[in-house]
């Protein structure tokens, strides 16, 4: 941002905007039905973070909250999502108030890393346990689908944004214009 001459006043809302996008991806992932799909005619099974439904003759659903691993996966992913929402709110506050700009940006970055760890734990618990503990019909292949991918996107974005928020205070003087520019 500093090296290529982008004006800080115009570009300072990029990081909160990306955190908002990660939050939207988390909402899609929490509400979506496409975490796991298994299909071999006439057996179709769809699953979300909360339920696993078999669509043979009629829709029969099993709540994953009846299992300890289902509650663990949902709980850890939900904690990661809540932490991303908190990071979004804190970043709006940090970039809106000029005096607080660089005081707690590194803390937001650390909180992004914690959110990424929690969401990563939820995604891994879900993938391992759905593969080993749930019995799908014989000769079917289960695929982790689009909503599960949105969960991974939220996790990867929180890792990347954590790096950006942690590295941004290193360039505080450059961003605020306290350093004499070098002309080549």
The vertex-70 CA angle with 65 and 75, nearest 5°, equals 90
The conformation of residue 180, written as its DSSP 8-state character, comes to P
Cβ atoms of 154 and 120 within 8 Å: the answer is no
Residue 53 in any domain: the answer is: no
Q: Is residue 1 part of a domain?
A: no
Q: Which domain holds residue 114?
A: 20-33+67-138+147-170
| DSSP structure class, residue 104 | S
pTM, whole model, 2 decimals? 0.85
Query: How many other C-beta atoms can be found within 10 angstroms of the C-beta atom of residue 37?
Result: 19
Q: What is the pLDDT of residues 93-151, one digit of tens each?
A: 887 876 656 678 889 999 999 999 999 999 999 999 988 877 776 667 778 889 999 99
Domain-located, residue 44: no
Classify residue 56: in a domain, yes or no: no
The answer to whether position 25 is within a domain reads yes
**Residue 29 placed within a domain:** yes
Rounded-to-integer distance, Cα 165 and Cα 150, Å: 22
Tell me, what's the pLDDT at 157?
A: 96
Q: Residue 38 pLDDT more than 90? A: no
Is the separation of the CB atoms in 119 and 85 below 8 Å? no
φ/ψ of residue 17, rounded to 5: -65, -40
Q: What is the count of structural domains for the chain? A: 1
Torsion of CA 165, 171, 176, 178, to 10 degrees: 160
Asked if the structure places residue 58 within a domain, the reply is no
> Does pLDDT of 173 surpass 70?
no
- On whether residue 159 sits in a domain, the answer given is yes
């Amino acid at each position: 941002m500093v090296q290529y001459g982008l004006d800080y006043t115009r570009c300072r809302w990029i990081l909160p905007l990306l955190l908002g996008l990660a939050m939207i991806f988390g909402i899609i992932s929490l509400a979506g039905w496409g975490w796991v799909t298994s299909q071999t005619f006439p057996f179709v099974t769809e699953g979300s973070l909360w339920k696993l439904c078999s669509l043979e003759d009629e829709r029969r659903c099993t709540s994953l909250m009846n299992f300890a691993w289902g509650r663990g996966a949902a709980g850890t992913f939900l904690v990661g999502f809540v932490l991303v929402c908190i990071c979004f709110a804190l970043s709006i506050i940090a970039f809106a108030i000029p005096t607080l700009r660089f005081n707690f940006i590194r803390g937001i970055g650390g909180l992004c890393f914690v959110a990424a760890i929690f969401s990563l734990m939820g995604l891994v618990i879900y993938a391992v346990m759905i593969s080993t503990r749930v019995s799908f019909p014989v000769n079917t292949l289960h695929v982790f689908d689009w909503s599960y991918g949105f969960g991974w996107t939220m996790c990867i974005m929180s890792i990347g944004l954590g790096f950006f928020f942690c590295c941004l205070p290193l360039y505080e003087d450059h961003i605020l214009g306290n350093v004499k520019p070098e002309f080549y």
